[in-house]
Homo-oligomer: A and B are copies of this chain.
Amino acid sequence: MSAPELYILGSSSATPTRDRNPSSQVLKIGSDKIMIDCGEGTQMRLIQLGIRHTGLDYICISHLHGDHYYGLIGLITSMNLMGRKQNLNIIGPPHLKDILDLQLKEGGKQPEFNITFHATNPEKPELILKTSHFELSSFPLKHQIHCTGFIIKEAAKERSLNIDQIENHQVPIAAFKSIKAGENYINDKGEEISYLLLSHDPKPSKSYVYCSDTIFDMDIIPYIKDCTILYHEATYMEALADKALERYHSTAKQAGIIATHAQVHQLLIGHFSSRYDNLEPLLLEAKSIFPNTALALEGLKFLINENDADAEPTVLELSNAFNNH
């Protein structure tokens, strides 16, 4: 399976700007697509970026501030109008379900697909679901209201066979599966041969962590440690650290500190206050603490991989909606 891909659909905080929509991202793992947050206008961004919502079977909502979920009901409505039949998993605070139920009821039309709702827990980390491609967990973030971050980790990969040793020990095909699963092989003579000799360690699973919105909080380090890419909100510059504290947000510098302590491979920052036209200073501030940092701007695609720090992220083919600004 190729490396998971992360698409940024929105990078603004509470109010949108001419160029920046509120929070939303899509993580593609194999054929699965997972959306994380869904601010107003997300369905239009999907159209602009050419990302189809077929295969989008998981939508995670961090909390019930509008810039993280006001676009969800519109996306569900459009999915239904376009004939969706397959189940949709929605992961979010319990009352999100009440809001969606009320809006669907008053609209007079229930979706023709099933929605499986998974309530997040703001008190402790929880495994939400596990598929053949990934494992999705939530963990508590400290914000003004019930809020969680999300961890998406590729499913553990199989060991690969050491063909030389397999031939050397004349291991039959029937034994391959158990060796890959980590069992020793016992040959006709009753000799036990270690799976460690007969196979290579699997490539480590990549993981993506999403932290928005949150106050600067070292308590999250144990949950997010060693992830491949960390997205951490950076609503303000450090000069406005007081405002960040008061509003339960973080600064670019604080995002860099969290990334350093969590020993992640790469940091992405986003959720920028609409007061900043030029985001370069936020990037430089985070980089001064944690060099392998990038701006999570709409239209960018990041590979969840241990990339070169200097590698530029791919820019998707965008409409003029926002790449001319």
Pairwise interchain contact B321-A145, C-beta atoms closer than 8 A: no
A223 CB → nearest B CB, Å: 24
Pairwise interchain contact B17-A47, C-beta atoms closer than 8 A: yes
A17-55 near B? 1/0 per residue, CB < 8 Å = 110010000000000000000001101100110000000
- A188 interface residue per 8 A CB criterion: no
Given known contacts A66-B74, A74-B40, A82-B15, A106 and B102 CB-to-CB distance under 8 angstroms: no
Pairwise interchain contact A81-B14, C-beta atoms closer than 8 A: yes
What number of A residues sit within 8 Å (CB to CB) of B?
43
Complex: A18 Cα to B103 Cα, angstroms: 25
- A270 interface residue per 8 A CB criterion: no
Residues 260-276 of A contacting B (Cβ, < 8 Å)? none
Complex: A102 Cα to B66 Cα, angstroms: 12
A325 CB → nearest B CB, Å: 8
Complex: A129 Cα to B66 Cα, angstroms: 30
Contacts of A21 in B (CB 8 A): 44
Pairwise interchain contact A16-B40, C-beta atoms closer than 8 A: no
- A99 interface residue per 8 A CB criterion: yes
Q: How many protomers of this protein does the assembly include?
A: 2
- A320 interface residue per 8 A CB criterion: yes
Contacts of A325 in B (CB 8 A): 319-320
Contacts of A103 in B (CB 8 A): 64, 66, 99
Pairwise interchain contact B74-A73, C-beta atoms closer than 8 A: no
- Please list 27 pairs of residues, one from A and one from B, whose beta carbons are closer than 8 Å in the complex, sorted by A's number: A15-B81, A16-B44, A16-B47, A16-B78, A18-B48, A18-B319, A40-B44, A40-B71, A40-B74, A64-B103, A64-B107, A65-B107, A65-B108, A66-B74, A66-B103, A67-B77, A70-B70, A70-B77, A93-B106, A96-B106, A99-B99, A106-B145, A319-B325, A320-B320, A320-B321, A320-B325, A321-B322
Additional pairs, 10, CB under 8 Å, beyond known A41-B44, A66-B107: A14-B78, A14-B81, A15-B81, A15-B82, A18-B48, A40-B40, A64-B106, A93-B106, A107-B145, A108-B144
